[in-house]
Amino acid sequence: LGYTHVGSGGQQVTAPVLAVTGANAIVDWVVVELRGAGDPTMVLATRSALVQRDGDVVDVDGLSAVSFFLPAGNYRMAVRHRNHLGAMSASPIALYGIPTTIDLTLPGTPTWGTNARNNVNGNMVLWPGDTNFNGTVKYAGGSNDRDPILTLIGGTTPTNTMNNVYNGADLNLDGSVKYAGSGNDRDIILQTIGGSVPTATRTQQLP
């Protein structure tokens, strides 16, 4: 995807971790960033981490807290995903030698910027639709996120599907890429930008 890790990253996972079922089953990867308390544009360290079915983000053993090799102190924390817009804590968080829980699903957890997350039935989630991982969800015009979906299924027949894939164009994360019909991935882009004006855009709220 062109993401450049800082100080770490590139973690790998073993097969037994992916064999877990139930609420702690691993469903995807994310990148966790620690940024400067005074300068949130400064990415100090990054880690590839795993997402469990219940929404917890854990280290590559599938259970432990995500750890960083930085001095104890105050940091801003950001989470980024392969086809969602990332979000970051609004204020610095004190991180020391014990696990600290940051729940970005709670509406009361402040995040950087404006409307950095989407409220789905009281749970805050990352905005989907960034198929080209450029930090903007765009339905029409140059560098839009709709065209990669059509290209992946062949480019000429919009009713084609691509099944059993792990790809950024799979916006609803069901393992298939669809451009048209029920459960397609294209409509998610339109919903993220507002649903009525196809030329609207939504920009990732990371400095």
pLDDT value of residue 97: 87
pTM of this structure:
0.94
CA-nearest of 121, 104, 92, 112 to 203 is: 112
Q: How confident is the model at residue 85 (pLDDT cuts 50, 70, 90)?
A: very high
- pLDDT single digits (tens) 1-29: 778 999 878 889 999 999 999 999 999 99
Q: How confident is the model at residue 84 (pLDDT cuts 50, 70, 90)?
A: very high
Instruction: Provide the token pair at 190.
Output: 């339109």
Q: What percent of the chain has pLDDT over 90?
A: 94
Residues in the chain: 207
> CB-based contacts of 67: which residues, under 8 Å, 6+ apart?
47, 59
DSSP, collapsed to helix, strand or coil, labels residue 80 as strand
Q: How confident is the model at residue 153 (pLDDT cuts 50, 70, 90)?
A: very high
Tell me the one-letter amino acid at 128: P
DSSP, residue by residue, 1-47: -----SSS------HHHHT--GGG-EEEEEEEEEEESS-TT-EEEEE
- pLDDT single digits (tens) 32-56: 999 999 999 999 999 999 999 999 9
pLDDT value of residue 103: 97
Mean pLDDT of the chain: 96
Handedness of CA 127, 128, 134, 140 (dihedral sign): negative
CA 48 to chain centre: 12
CA distances from residue 14 to 59, 61, 69, 126 in whole angstroms, order as listed: 12, 8, 22, 27
pLDDT value of residue 121: 96
Q: Could you tell me if 31 and 11 are in contact, meaning their C-beta atoms sit under 8 angstroms apart?
A: no
DSSP, residue by residue, 141-194: STT-SSHHHHHHTTSS-TT-EEES---TT-TT-SSEEESSSTT-SHHHHHHHTT
Half-sphere exposure of residue 20, counting CA atoms within 13 Å on the CB side? Answer: 20
